[in-house]
A and B are shown apart, each in its own frame.
Chain A
Amino acid sequence: MRRVSWFNLTSLTFGFAFLYLPMVVLVVYSFNSNKLVTVWAGFSTKWYGELFRNEAFLDAAWVTLRVALLSSTMATVLGTMAAYVLVRGGKFFGRTLFSGTLYAPLVMPDVILGLSLLLLFISIGLDRGMVTIVLAHTTFAMSYVAVVVSSRLVSFDRALEEAALDLGCTPLDAFRSVTLPIIAPAVISGWLLGFTLSLDDLVIASFTSGPSSTTLPIKIFSAVRLGVSPEINALSSILIGIVTVGVLTFSISSKRAIMKRMREENRAET
């Protein structure tokens, strides 16, 4: 095993400290009993209590959750189809335009996406509300799903699909029983990515939401625009906690799945 050089160790330590310290500070100060966020006055969980009594935040959280569930699911279906078509579909008319429009939302500034979608909804007379946010989020989340799924599709052995077809599977059967189980981890991470992106989005949701459908990021943004607030610290800590638990569970379970598959493959070979 190679020794870790001092330079590498230092850059890793400083790099990760930079990435994590702000979040640690945020979580620690969410337990501060003082109304002045930055002045420590003792441990307290009262801001969490306040948060759960705040109807407006709870309503917004419920809207956000439903939007995220719907849009990430739709984005996963569409994004997986798009990735499959691009990687396996061969040549077809407009392929370059298709891949361009599929990957462009990855880097397109949110303000442009939000504005253009809003103007579309206005000109076809669709009332702004949950439906419009779901449509908007599906559109940009499907790009992320397509990236994740296509990288998995590229890397796996095509012969497996061909074998299934040779053995009499219909293309749909082959997809269901061979391709889908193999790309499943990528499809799930695509869904999770779409889900968190939707939970997190402020700009596109601000453009496409109506007065009856405020999402959590819109609420957070209007609360923190003027300054820091202890309730938002508590809310942020909860969200950081959920993401941490989610990412840990997912990476541990996918690691287990890989180990299990490797063991089975070893057994099959001996």
Chain B
Amino acid sequence: MSQVSMTVNGRKVSGECEDRTLLVHFLRDNLHLTGTHVGCDTSQCGACVVHLDGKAIKSCTMLAVQASGSDVTTIEGIANGQDLNPVQTAFKEHHGLQCGFCTPGMIMTITDMINRHGSDLDEETVREELDGNICRCTGYHNIVKAALDAASKMGTPQQVAAE
């Protein structure tokens, strides 16, 4: 068993888990943050994407102990209280989700994408960088629209980084 400590959504947390526990299971089972999902066993579907020290990672591909000491943001931590962040808003306005299961991972991946590309983000880049996120419901059409709309509203990469 290992003792794990990290900052999750701005809150310092710690817990005990088996050495083999994946970060996604630590988030779901120890911290009860069930918005991060598991959709495959091979790091392909992206339902488990969270931000680790500001970058999108697949939380099924990292041990909880490896994330110890890091700053983790999950889908539960990106809204500002009742105010949705621009990517969440764009998903709602463009009907970028249906069953909602892949949605947290999609939003975390696209937020990272916009953090890097800002308003320069284009359709080709969105589709290419969504390679690691699978959606079975939407045909991606409205997810792409949501990503581009959110990018246009979130501004330049520098502005985003400064926030």
Answer yes or no: are A and B bound together in one complex: no
Binding site for B on A (CB under 8 A): none
